[in-house]
């Protein structure tokens, strides 16, 4: 049996990957799609320059326009800067854009995914591209963006693959972000067999604040939706209990009552 050629068995060089996707782009009126997409390109260009990263659009095959977003392929050495400081600066840029945009211009809210893996040159083909797309489409980052929007008026939710997280945050290469800024989760996509550990980052929200707002399925089981408010019951925080055994007239017991449950059982 002839031996395989070296090129078919050699592991391609690793590349850093950043993928972004705009929430609700397909619902924007067609006449506004091109302008808002151009605005997104400007935001990304400015952020990359601000954090000292070369724009992949300057290198053949290192940029893919996905219509409502983009995939950037960068040298593996840049992976840490895709996490910190890029994610925070991207959030700041989106907040600034929203403050300055015209009233009739759509807001730009992004999901982002950061990954690292081998890609064959010159077309950058390989599993890593598929994986970063799955991460970007996962229920957990979708839920994260919904939480950011509903609870903070935020514009960004990002998911970092386990491989990228290990080489950046856990390795101490992200000066302003550490493990306490990320929520450990599992990335899954409806209708796909993809299932990978990941780390969710929502600017200005701690993991402790995020976790109760995202369904347990997106953190370790199946699913990935925003958790509904917890009904009153055994899992709710204990409130004050008052027992009245006689008539009360014009007496202030408590200033404000959120939810009141009356137990009419006779003792």
Is residue 148 a contact partner of residue 108, using CB atoms and an 8 Å limit? no
Q: Is residue 76 part of a domain?
A: yes
- pLDDT for residue 9: 86
Number of domains within the chain:
1
User: Binning pLDDT at 50, 70 and 90, where does residue 210 land?
Assistant: very high
CATH number of the domain enclosing 150: 3.30.70.1230
Q: Is residue 43 part of a domain?
A: yes
- pLDDT for residue 124: 84
Residue of higher predicted confidence among 16 and 217: 16
User: Binning pLDDT at 50, 70 and 90, where does residue 243 land?
Assistant: very low
User: Binning pLDDT at 50, 70 and 90, where does residue 95 land?
Assistant: very high
**Residue 121: which domain range?**
12-218
Alpha carbon dihedral 138, 142, 147, 149, in 10-degree steps, equals 150
Provide the mean pLDDT of the chain: 85
Question: What phi and psi values does residue 196 have, to the nearest 5 degrees?
Answer: -140, 145
Q: Is residue 260 part of a domain?
A: no
Q: Is residue 249 part of a domain?
A: no
Q: Is residue 251 part of a domain?
A: no
Encode pLDDT of 106-131 as tens digits.
Answer: 999 999 999 999 998 788 889 999 99
Residue of higher predicted confidence among 238 and 27: 27
- pLDDT for residue 217: 66
Q: Is residue 223 part of a domain?
A: no
Q: Is residue 175 part of a domain?
A: yes
- pLDDT for residue 121: 77
User: Binning pLDDT at 50, 70 and 90, where does residue 232 land?
Assistant: very low
- pLDDT for residue 225: 47
Is residue 95 a contact partner of residue 153, using CB atoms and an 8 Å limit? no
Is residue 15 a contact partner of residue 128, using CB atoms and an 8 Å limit? yes
Say what the pTM is: 0.80
Confidence check: pLDDT of 251 > 60: no
Q: Is residue 254 part of a domain?
A: no
- N-terminal to C-terminal alpha carbon distance within the chain: 88
- pLDDT for residue 19: 99
Handedness of CA 236, 242, 248, 253 (dihedral sign): negative
Stretch 49-71: mean pLDDT: 93
- pLDDT for residue 166: 98
Q: Report DSSP letters for 194-239, one per residue.
A: -EEEEEEE-TT--HHHHGGGB-GGGTTSS---BPPPPPSSTTSPP-
- pLDDT for residue 60: 86
Stretch 28-52: mean pLDDT: 96
Tokens 């290469």 belong to which residue? 173
């Amino acid at each position: 049996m002839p031996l395989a050629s070296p090129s078919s068995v050699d592991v391609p060089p690793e590349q850093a990957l950043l993928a972004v996707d705009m929430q609700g782009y397909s619902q924007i009126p067609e006449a506004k799609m091109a302008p808002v997409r151009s605005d997104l390109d400007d935001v990304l260009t400015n952020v990359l320059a601000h954090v000292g990263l070369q724009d992949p659009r300057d290198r053949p095959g290192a940029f893919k326009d996905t219509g409502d977003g983009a995939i950037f392929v960068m040298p593996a050495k840049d992976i840490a800067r895709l996490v910190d400081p890029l994610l925070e600066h991207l959030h700041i840029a989106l907040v600034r854009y929203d403050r300055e945009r015209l009233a009739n211009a759509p807001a730009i809210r992004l999901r982002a995914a950061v990954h690292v893996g081998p890609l064959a040159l010159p077309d950058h083909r390989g599993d890593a591209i598929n994986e970063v797309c799955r991460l970007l489409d996962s229920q957990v980052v979708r839920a994260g963006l919904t939480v950011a929007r509903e609870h903070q008026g935020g514009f960004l939710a990002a998911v970092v693959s386990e491989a990228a997280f290990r080489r950046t945050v856990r390795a101490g290469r992200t000066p302003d972000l550490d493990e306490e800024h990320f929520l450990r989760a599992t990335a899954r996509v409806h209708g796909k067999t993809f299932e990978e550990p990941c780390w969710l980052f929502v600017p200005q929200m701690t993991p402790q604040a995020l976790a109760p707002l995202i369904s347990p399925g997106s953190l370790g089981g199946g699913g990935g939706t925003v958790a509904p408010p917890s009904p009153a019951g055994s899992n709710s925080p204990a409130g004050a209990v008052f027992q009245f055994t006689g008539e009360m007239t014009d007496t202030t017991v408590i200033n404000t009552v959120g939810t009141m449950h009356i137990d009419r059982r006779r003792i």
